[in-house]
Structure 1
Amino acid sequence: MEENDIKGWQRVLLLVLPYLFFVGIFQFVGMVVSGQETSVAEVGIQEETTLQRIIVAAFGLMGFLLLISLFMKYVDKKSFLDLGLYFKNNGKDILFGVLAGLLIMGMGYGLLILFGQLEFKEMNFIGIEFLLTLVLYTIVSFSEEILLRGYILRNFMESMNNFLALLLSAILFSIMHSANPNISWIGFVNLFLAGIIMGLPYIYTQSLWFPIAFHFSWNFFQSLFGFNVSGMNSYSLIEFSFSERNIINGGDFGFEGSLLSILLQISLIFTLYFTYRQSKQKNNLTKIVN
């Protein structure tokens, strides 16, 4: 493989403007195709439907994958799969990621009900919305994880200490969501911690499957349990009302805006750290013995 004399952090900087321009064009096309551009022009700003969000996200993903493929080939001089998308022996990471997201959201919802922060109203199962929400957050998780962990974190790791790279990538993850509706400093901290959770296994495995699975699970189950997702309203299987909107329950930003989310995420970070560090030590010992 050809040697690359462009430093990792420089490759990240090189991506910024092409990403904003290229992905922006594809997302605009997605808006036109979904009818958003027309509806905004005719009747003012309207809330997006789930299908419209899927179309825009899918066009953005197509543009991003095309761009990142070009960068991996001509700038990074590596295979696209080197982002961390190898399929071999990743079933446990996928299952672990899905269960971790479900566990946090289930515990969060249950504790907030127990503390009187939320009041259950009804179940609202709409089959098509359930499936569309699943598709939407699958697209979102692939898009953001390939960018933040697969490209940015991986390149930062080539330029600096792994844990410094992890911190910087988590900060960027928070900043990318800083314009979301109803965000607060607690929401920003929660997004930072989520960035740590999704990046920590990557620095040990260089695999994207846990980050993608956890990101999907976090968003999908947060939505199903009735919370906004990073300030964005979406389909909810469970409908509830707030006793009051506060920093305990997250209010209009969603569970990510709550102090309880901070506590649960910190607990998961320690669990992931000791789990993946121990796993890597066992693998290294096995290689030495063999």
Structure 2
Amino acid sequence: MTHHNWLPPIHLHPIFWAFLLAAILTGMLMEVMVLFGIVLLHEMGHFLAAWHFRWRIRRVMLWVFGGVMETEEHGNRRIREEAIVVLAGPAVHIVLYAVLFLLRETTAVPEGVLETAYMYNTTILIFNLLPIWPLDGGKLVGLILSMQLPYRKAHAVLIGFSCVMGAAILLYVCIALPFTLSTVSLLCFLLWENRLEWKRRYYVFLRFLLQRATFGPTGVLCTPIFASPDTTLLDILSQYRRNRRHMIVVKGKNAVLDEQLCSDMYFKNKQAHCTVADILQNRQ
């Protein structure tokens, strides 16, 4: 189910209630609620930007330390549009700094609460800008890669890059910084998520292709894909790029294939292992 309503479909992860109970028992309720409030506002920044562009939003899942907005947009929105949605989260923290500064000029909020909010606001902002998928910084790296590479390759490079960066930062934290269990746990969680994403990378690629075949490619630029008669259909589909339309130029045959025909051969005719020569013969 997708939502275009301005009210976000918020879901609280079961781990949130465990942290809330622990906070009550340990006297850390204020700190946890401030942290959760900042995370909520961060995700609302993503949500409002996506709602503005009429994205199909499934839900906003929230933990204590972070959250994720799940959508039905799988790499087929304009890169500029997606960049705005990604940056809308970090932009909220800049607004929060201004709000906290104004509150400091009053006595409406205790100084301890403001100091805690400043600390968590800075921590979440910096952490989210790390170039590790699925953090906002990692998503921006993915957008940059997809401007230069086909979608399938850009996604694979992003996950590989994220794993290297995550491992490097984890090593630095363990060696050079005072050990903090929460930081190490979050980095290990991100590495685990990247491992899972690597395992399902082909599924992510197929999801991109299916949505592209269903709704058509975005963008006005047309980039030719040059293929020989023995080039496989999957090799052609693997060269599809975001925000580009494609025509497949068959070398030595003076023929051009439409990308929609190739997509239909894959999804409708189930000819995943056919070649360009097979497609030409089928077209006649």
Q: Which has the higher contact order (CA 8 A, sep 6+)?
A: 1
Which structure has the highest strand share of the two? 2
Task: Output the TM-score relative to the length of structure 1.
Answer: 0.30
